[in-house]
Each structure stands twice: as structure tokens, then as C-alpha cells.
Amino acid sequence: MSLHLSVIGCGTMGRAVVGGLLASGEGEGWSFGATTHSAESAARLAAELPMETSLDNIAEATRADVVILGVKPQMAASVFAVPGMADAVRGKMLISLCAGVRIAQLEAWAPGARVVRAMPNTPALIREGMTVLSPGSTATAEDLALAKRMFQSVGRCRVLEEKHMDAVTGLSGSGPAFACVILEALADGGVMMGLPRDVAIELAAQTMQGAARLVLQTGEHPAALRDRVTTPAGCTIAGLFRMEEGRVRSTLARTVQEAAEVAAGLGC
């Protein structure tokens, strides 16, 4: 299958998707184009990936089979307010990466486009991403299957109803930033106890990666895996009690809640 994929407002996630498609072979035979906000960023992007770049959203979308909308949520409406842009995406699959922008808004701005809403995250850069898709009312089963293949090329992918997308944004969309704070804190603990900084970061990062993979590959509940290493009167239970004293569990849950509530207002 030969397609032309256009990324309107190609930033980190657009680059990750295109890079994943190329690395996985899913995009073999495809052509790629993108628009950016400046000539300088267009030149940098063209140097990174085999794609044509420009500043003309309408021209790029017109030649596309599939359009990815990667602009900031606050800019989404203005993209389609330009005369001719709605016509450029009519009859095409439009995949929106814009947090907080509802399918109904996209379908109103671009009538005739087959909308799929997507929320990937930054580990897609190394093909370890998590993406959730929600199809619009006119998206076909073929559209959804193609979107799934595209995002599976950069990690895991699930399909959920749109009502879950704000929670998805707060958890997996913003989650890498939260995980990095936790990772840094664990490494700080290692440094405090005498480890060199680079060693502490490596230990913390591999430990978090290993624990996450253990959950995904075994399918076991995190609590069950935690209990396996929590022996009576041992060091792990002592550390867990200190975490509970610091209300780490409720703080992290509230962190996701706060991010999700902000995400809900981004598209307004």
C-alpha cells in the first residue's frame, strides 16, 4: 500500500510517528510531508527524516491520503479557519494529536473528514510509546485498522471511547514527565547513600523499566509483584512504610487527576 502521510504542525510526536513507521517497515513505500511554523524548523526536520517540508498547510494536506494534526490544541481551530483548509482534508482520514480537542469540534471544523483522535506519548521516540485511539462517527473500520498499525509501529496501542481521553492524557500522555520525577528522586536517594550520580540514574532507570515490563509481560497486578519482594522485617517494607508516610500513592493519583482536568480544558 502506497500512501502520502502529511503531518500538519510536525513536532516531537509527528517526528516520532514518522520515524516509527520507517523503522518498523510499516511505512515502506509511503511518502511523507510535513508543515512547521518556521523555515528553520522545516529545514531541520527535512535533515532528520526523508520527508518534504513546507509552511503551506493547505498545499500539504491537499496531496495527502492521511493527515495528522500535530499543532498545539489552542491552535487547532485557527488551522481550519483558513479558507481552503477544510476542503483540503475532506474525504480523508484526519488523525488529531491535539489534547483536549473533541471529535465533535474536529468534525465541525473539517466536515467530510474521517476523524480519529489519538493520544500518544513521548516514549514513541524510541518505539516504546503508549497510544489510545478514539474514532469519530464517520471513521471506517479500515481507517481505525490503519491508525492502529501506524501507532503500533511506535509502541502499544488501544482503542477506547472518547469519554476516557482526558484521563488517558493525564495518565499516559503526561505520565512520562511524572515518571521522570520519580526516577530522579530514586536516583537522588542512591546519591545520598554514596552512589555516583550516573550509576544511580542507571540503576533507577533500569529498575523502573524492569518493573514496568514485569507488569506488562506477566499480566499480574502491581501489588502482587510488590509483595514478592517485600519480606517480613526487611528493607523493602521499611521503605514502603516511608512512602506511605509521605502520601506518595495519593499524591501521584491526584497528579493524574489534575493533569486530566487541565487536559479537558485545552481544546476550549
The values of phi and psi at residue 134, to 5°, are: -135, 120
Q: Which three cell numbers stand for residue 222?
A: 502491581
In DSSP terms, 52 is beta-bridged to 33
- C-alpha to C-alpha distance for 198 and 114, rounded to whole angstroms: 48
For 131-155, the pLDDT digits (tens) are 999 999 999 999 999 999 999 999 9
- For the chain, list the strands marked E by DSSP: 4-8, 31-35, 52-54, 66-69, 93-96, 114-119, 129-135, 155-159
Assess whether 8 and 101 both reside in one domain. yes
Assess whether 54 and 134 both reside in one domain. yes
Task: Write the DSSP symbol of residue 243.
Answer: H
Which structural domain, as residue segments, surrounds residue 219? 173-264
Assess whether 144 and 184 both reside in one domain. no
Which residues neighbour 177 within 8 Å (Cβ) at sequence distance 6 or greater? none
Q: Number of structural domains, the chain?
A: 2
- C-alpha to C-alpha distance for 118 and 198, rounded to whole angstroms: 35
Assess whether 18 and 149 both reside in one domain. yes
- C-alpha to C-alpha distance for 168 and 131, rounded to whole angstroms: 9
Assess whether 180 and 121 both reside in one domain. no
Query: The domain that contains 148 carries what CATH number?
Result: 3.40.50.720
Mean pLDDT by 10 residues, the chain (268 residues): 91 89 89 93 91 94 97 95 97 96 97 97 92 97 96 96 97 97 98 98 98 96 95 95 95 97 89
User: Which of 165, 194, 221 corresponds to the end of one domain?
Assistant: 165
User: Which of 139, 165, 191 corresponds to the end of one domain?
Assistant: 165
Assess whether 120 and 180 both reside in one domain. no
Query: The domain that contains 197 carries what CATH number?
Result: 1.10.3730.10
Prediction pTM value: 0.92
Assess whether 118 and 52 both reside in one domain. yes
Assess whether 204 and 235 both reside in one domain. yes
- For 17-85, list the strands marked E by DSSP: 31-35, 52-54, 66-69
First-last CA distance in the chain: 37
Among 9, 1, 28, 173, CA closest to 96: 9
Burial (CB count within 10 angstroms: exposed 0-12, middle 13-18, buried 19+), residue 109 = buried
Residue 23: per-residue pLDDT: 87
Q: Which three cell numbers stand for residue 98?
A: 491535539
Assess whether 143 and 22 both reside in one domain. yes
- C-alpha to C-alpha distance for 3 and 92, rounded to whole angstroms: 12
For 17-60, the pLDDT digits (tens) are 898 888 888 888 999 999 998 999 999 999 999 999 999 999 99
Residue 233: per-residue pLDDT: 94
Assess whether 129 and 84 both reside in one domain. yes
Do 240 and 230 meet the contact criterion of CB atoms below 8 Å apart?
Answer: yes
Helix, strand, coil proportions of the chain in percent (round to 5)? 55, 15, 30
Neighbours of 126 (CB within 10 A): 13
User: Which of 99, 132, 165 corresponds to the end of one domain?
Assistant: 165
Assess whether 154 and 183 both reside in one domain. no
